[in-house]
Amino acid sequence: MSEPSKLLQVDDLKVSFKLQKGKLDAVKGVSFSIAEGEVVAIVGESGSGKSVIAQSILRILPKNASIDDGSILFCDPKANYKAVDLTSFESTDDYLYEVRGGRISMVFQEPMTALSPLHTIGNQVEEALVLHHEKSSSDARSETEEILRLVGFPDPARGYSMYPFELSGGLRQRAVIAMALICNPALVIADEPTTALDVTVQAQILGLMKELQKKFNTAILMITHDLGVVANMADKVVVIYHGEVMEAGTVDDIFRRPQHPYLKALIAAIPHFDMKENERLVSLRDTDASGLTKTIHKLSSQFRAASPENMDGPHLKVENLRKEFVSTKGSWFGAGDENRIVAVDNVSFEINRGECLGLVGESGSGKTTVSKLIMKALEATSGSVHLNTGQGMKDVLGLEGRELMDFRRRVQMIFQDPYSSLNPRMTIQNILNEPYVIHGLANENSQQDDILDLIRLVGMESNCLNRYPHSFSGGQRQRIGIARALALHPEIMICDEPVSALDVSVQAQILNLLNDLRKELGLTSLFISHNLAVVNYVADRIAVMCQGKLVEIASREQLFSNPHHPYTKSLLSAVPYPDLDRLLDFETIKYTSSVEADDWGMLFKPSAEAGLESIRVDEGHFVLANCNCNPSDLRAL
């Protein structure tokens, strides 16, 4: 095979944003090239300028951005590979309208907002076709349905007339891909195309992109922060940091022979499945930890004093928890049609003192609802939650008044979104002070010392107390959220996706911090996440949830080395590893993915005479399966 011809050549690209004060250089001289039919990945953390590069190629930068220097040569195969410099046009030039969507198209990150909610899928996909080719409306429609079928719409004719909000996230992203491919472009720019999707859906979408890329010989410029995705998709990789290329090369060079310290650090910061017990993530930029360790030791005794000394049995016990949400189809008179959604279905587990239980599941699996039920933020439909107070188990769901207040002190929560979980109108001082005020513990003298201890505990300095949340980065805000949760010396910490909004390097810092705090302060914790690698790093035992049911619970080692439930297996097989020797098997994922309960084998489905039950297959390893099945059958799987 001869060398594929060059398609896009970016040379010394410089892009800057005009700000109120001066100018921000977002891209500082980036060069790379893409050949026909090649997949090139641009990897970087948020703010590295990777999306800006994508927008520069299509010349759809925001108004306050400008290309200062450099060239973007595009050699259109349909125009005899004649090189055209895309930066030489006005952004409203006719030629650019032709290129956009016609020759170079784009797949976006968030499929919900990237599609207009007011227009049907068909209308929006077809539009790209009609803009670039003269087609009769029936031709356009049949071509649109054809591409919808290609991207995996089960019923393209119906999909054509549906609205984005009627579809699942995966199907929406398929529609966006259809929209990008319908004009058979030479290059597709995919800007974080799977970041907003669940891991099993991500694997399917990546497989689809790879398949279509081969079929149409389309080049893909993949923009992502996820090295796992890169390893599975790309031929060439460009690693970018603060608008500059750190390292570029073939995927083999990048993963097997990383040269630049930034790239090495980036790879080291990702939690992976082969980590040894007590192995620490190496965070990219380590924060000064001296103040931290001192405070940890100081507070450790206080924490231990606040929680019950002797404890028989588990610290927290959840039994047969069930939560139904009722939606009524609009009717003002009478009941109307009630639609019951079972968000949490017969979930039971225990957490021992000082242990960390990881709760894994995809969006909609009910994991957050479980945490809210435990916190008594939602009323459970049935079931029970018991907290061990040292003097026996206390029923949490029946707590009221003073006892409920005491319970709230004992159990604290760390939230997913560090931006919206801090009140923007309160200073950090006020935010950290609030728990004391609410619980009537405000004490003029020792108060300030406590707050200072807290802020040092999470690795920050006292001078930040008078500032407002907006002046901190995502990672710092998450630290503040952790400090707030620790203010009342809780015994149990519930972390709901605490790192999923953070960059890899910051994620490593926060995970290390959480691990240290948990161990030093003797906290019991429930760690909720969709990311198996993250859960693997922090949890002692792991519970897997699917569609409201807890399908498997086991120790960390057992779950990863010997999963039994088909859902757990497909979840594990769908995780993209940043490792070239463990690539995703797209073919098997496409055909054997068991995300839907219907695809699970007979052993895991309820039958007419027997329902589902949690069956013990090994010491501390339980699988949800048919009551009548033999545990040895499960073990054999």
* Binding track, positions 35-64, relative to other proteins; x by CB under 8 A: --------------------x--x-x----
Nearest-approach distance from CB 486 to other proteins, in angstroms: 33
Helix 474-486 with 428-438: angle, nearest 10 deg: 20
Buried b (16+ CB within 10 A) or exposed e, 212-234: bbeeeebbbbbbbbbbbbbbbbb
Q: Which stretch binds other proteins (CB under 8 A): 111-119, 226-234, 406-414, 593-601?
A: 111-119
Instruction: Give CA–CA dist 588/567, Å, rounded.
Output: 14
Nearer to other proteins, 108 or 415 (CB): 108
Q: How many residues bind other proteins (CB under 8 A)?
A: 41
For residue 498, the cross-strand partners are none
Which of 212/227 has CB closer to other proteins? 212
Angle at 266 between CA 362 and CA 577, to 5 degrees: 40
Residue 331 near other proteins by CB under 8 A: yes
Tokens 């033999």 belong to which residue? Answer: 630
Q: How far apart are the first and last CA of the chain?
A: 44
Answer for which of 82, 257, 276, 329 binds other proteins (CB under 8 A) is 329
* Spatial distance between the Cα atoms of 435 and 485, rounded to a whole number of angstroms: 8
State the minimum distance, in angstroms, from the CB of residue 606 to other proteins.
27
Widest distance between CA atoms in the chain:
82
Residue of 22, 154, 330, 424 interacting with other proteins (CB under 8 A): 330
Q: Which of 85, 146, 155, 166 binds other proteins (CB under 8 A)?
A: 166
Nearest residue (CB) to other proteins, 97 versus 285: 97
Does 335 help bind other proteins (rule: CB under 8 A)? no
Alpha carbons 160 and 178: distance in angstroms, whole number: 11
Site for other proteins in 175-194 (CB under 8 A): 176, 179
How far apart CA 573 and CA 588 sit, in angstroms, is: 9
Which is nearer to other proteins, 51 or 295 (by Cβ)?
A: 51
Helix (H) or strand (E) holding 105: strand 104-107
Select from 25, 68, 110, 253 the one that contacts other proteins (CB under 8 A): 110
Question: Among 554, 590, 596, 553, which residue's Cα sits nearest to residue 574?
Answer: 590
- Angle between helix axes 199-216 and 169-181 (nearest 10 degrees) is 20
Helix (H) or strand (E) run with residue 176 in it: helix 169-181
Q: Provide the angle, in degrees to the nearest 10, between the axes of the packed helices 444-457 and 290-306.
A: 120
C-alpha–C-alpha distance, residues 223 and 517, integer Å: 35
Dig out the tokens for 612 from the structure: 């589902």
Question: Among candidates 177, 225, 283, which has minimal Cα distance to 49?
Answer: 225
Token pair of 294, please? 């001192």
Q: 119 to 148, contacts with other proteins by CB under 8 A?
A: 119, 124, 127-128, 131-132
d(CA 245, CA 408): 49
Q: Which of residues 288-327 bind other proteins (CB under 8 A)?
A: 325-327
Of 12, 97, 139, 561, the residue at the interface with other proteins (CB under 8 A) is 97
Of 103 and 530, nearer to other proteins (C-beta) is: 103
Of 6-14, 81-89, 143-151, 162-170, the window that binds other proteins (rule: CB under 8 A) is: 162-170
Q: How far is the CB of 70 from other proteins (least distance, A)?
A: 21
Residue 312, Cα to own-chain centre: how many angstroms? 37
Among 88, 113, 301, 466, binds other proteins (CB under 8 A): 113
Q: Can you name the residues that pair with 527 across neighbouring β-strands?
A: 358, 495
- Minimum CB separation of residue 329 from other proteins in Å reads 5
C-alpha dihedral (540, 541, 547, 549), degrees to nearest 10: -150
The residues facing 394 across adjacent strands are: 387
| Lookup: tokens for 316 | 């927290």
The residue among 261 and 336 lying less far from other proteins, judged by its C-beta, is 336
For residues 106 and 201, which CB has a smaller minimum distance to other proteins in the complex?
A: 106
Residue 180 CB, nearest approach to other proteins (Å): 8
Interface with other proteins includes 548 (CB under 8 A)? no
Q: Which of 17, 163, 273, 419 binds other proteins (CB under 8 A)?
A: 163
Q: Structure tokens of 24?
A: 């921000």
CB of 343 to other proteins, least distance (A): 12
In the complex, what is the shortest distance from the CB of residue 111 to other proteins, in angstroms, rounded to a whole number? 10
Give the nearer residue to other proteins in terms of CB position, either 50 or 100.
Answer: 100
To other proteins, the closest distance from the beta carbon of 196 in angstroms equals: 11
Question: Judged by CB, which is closer to other proteins: 179, or 510?
Answer: 179
Choice between 90 and 309, CB closer to other proteins: 90
95 binds other proteins (CB under 8 A): no
User: Residues 237, 245: contact at Cβ < 8 Å?
Assistant: no
Which position among 2, 90, 154, 165 is part of the footprint of other proteins (CB under 8 A)? 165
482 binds other proteins (CB under 8 A): no
Q: Which two tokens stand for residue 370?
A: 């479980």
- Least distance in Å: CB of 170 to other proteins? 18
Residues 6+ apart with CB under 8 A from 264: 258
Residues that bind other proteins (CB under 8 A): 55, 58, 60, 92, 97-102, 105-106, 108, 110, 113-119, 124, 127-128, 131-132, 163, 165-166, 176, 179, 325-333, 336
